[in-house]
Amino acid sequence: MNVRAPNWSRVRLHVVSGKGGTGKSTVAAALALALARGGKKVLLLEVEGRQGIAQIFDTAPLPYQESKVAVAEDGGIVYALPVDAEAAMLEYLEMFYGIKRGGYALRRLGAIDFATTIAPGLRDVLLTGKASEAVKRGEKVGRPAYDAVVLDAPPTGRITRFLNVNTEIAGLAKVGPIRTQADSVMGVIRSARTAVHLVTLLEEMPVQETLDGLAELRAAGLPLGAVVINQVRGSQLDDEQLRLAAERALPESVLKKGLRAAAIDPTAATLRALADEAADHAARAALQNSERRRLAQTDQPILELPLLPGGIDLAALYGLSEAMTEQGLPG
C-alpha cells in the first residue's frame, strides 16, 4: 500500500525508528539489503549497544569496525558497525585534539562514560556523528564510500531528541569542536540526503506513538520518510465473509467444509470454536483497517510488510527486502 509514491533518489542516510517491539531493527536490516541491490555498498549502523545486527544476520558479536555481514542481489554488499559512544569519543579526541594515549587513560578512569552520562547530548552528537561521517566519506573526491547508510536508531519516543543534536548541546557548547561537530551532523540530517522512517504495527499504541513521532519530527524540521507497517496479518476472507464472521453468522455448511478440509470432525464443539476463531480474526482485521486509515491521513508514504509466522531468519530477511523493493522504498 503506497499512499504516495516515495522518491528518495537523493537520500543517502536512512534513519529507522519505531516503538519497542515493532521490529525496527529487522526492518533496518531488510532495508539495508534492499538498498544494496544492484551491486551497491551499504553501511548498517546500530547505536543501542545490543548487538542486534549480529543476531539478525546470525553472526558472532561484531567488533567496532565496519564488517561485511551480507551479500544482496547482483553482488551488493551490506557492512555493519555497532557504534559505541566510548570508542566514538576516543576517535573524537584524537581527531580534534590529537589525544590518543591520553584518551585511553581517560577510559580506564571512567571519565568518558562519566562525561557522556552527565551530558547525554554529547553522546548523541558522537553517535549521529558516525552516521554523518559515513555519509560524507569520499564525497569531496566524488567517490562516496557507501551508496547508502542505514541507521538503526533509538525508539520513536526519543528519536527527535536524538537527531536534533544542535538543540541538545545548546547549553553544553556555544563554540568550539563540539559545536562544530554538531553543526556538521545537522547539516547532513536536515538535508535532502536524509529520511527518517518510522516502523509500526497495526495496533492502537504503536500507531499513536508513530503519529506523535511524525508530529514531533515535523515540528523540529527533520526530514520524514516512510511509515513502515510491520507484521501485517493477511486474510483469506473477503469483506462479506469478514462481516458474517464478526456477527457469528457464517453458514454452518461453510464451517463444516473448512473443518473437513483440515481433517477435523465437525462436532458442535469444534464448530463453536471455529466460529469464535473467525470472529476474533474479523475483529483483528477491522482493527488493522481502522489503524491503517489513521496512518493514511498522515500523507506519508506507507509500506506494508507481512507477518512471518516462522519468525525471522536470513531467508525471511531477504524476503522482506524483496517486499520493500516491490513497493519502491529505495526510491
According to the model, what pLDDT value does residue 129 have?
86
pLDDT of residue 231: 94
Instruction: Record the pTM.
Output: 0.85
**Residue 247, helix vs strand vs coil:** coil
Q: What is the pLDDT along the chain (331 residues), one digit of tens a residue?
A: 444 545 677 899 999 999 999 999 999 999 999 999 989 999 999 998 888 899 999 899 998 899 999 999 788 999 999 987 767 666 655 555 454 554 455 455 454 454 455 455 677 888 888 899 999 999 888 899 999 999 999 999 999 999 987 676 555 555 566 777 778 888 999 999 999 999 999 999 999 999 999 999 999 999 999 999 999 988 888 888 888 888 888 888 888 888 888 889 989 899 899 889 889 989 888 999 999 999 999 989 999 999 988 888 889 999 999 999 998 876 6
Matching residue, cell 577510559: 107
What is the model's pLDDT at position 36? 95
3-state helix, strand, coil in the chain (%, to 5): 50, 15, 35
Residues 6+ apart with CB under 8 A from 282: 237, 242, 243, 245, 246
pLDDT at position 119 is: 54
Q: What pLDDT score was predicted for residue 110?
A: 52
Backbone angles phi, psi at 151, to 5 degrees: -110, 115
Sequence-distant (≥ 6) Cβ neighbours of residue 179 within 8 angstroms = 169, 173
Q: What local confidence, expressed as pLDDT, does residue 118 receive?
A: 45
- Which residues have CB under 8 Å from 107's CB, separation 6+? 86, 90, 113
Distance separating the N- and C-terminal Cα atoms of the chain: 15
Residue 154 confidence (pLDDT): 94
CA distance 328 to 331: 5
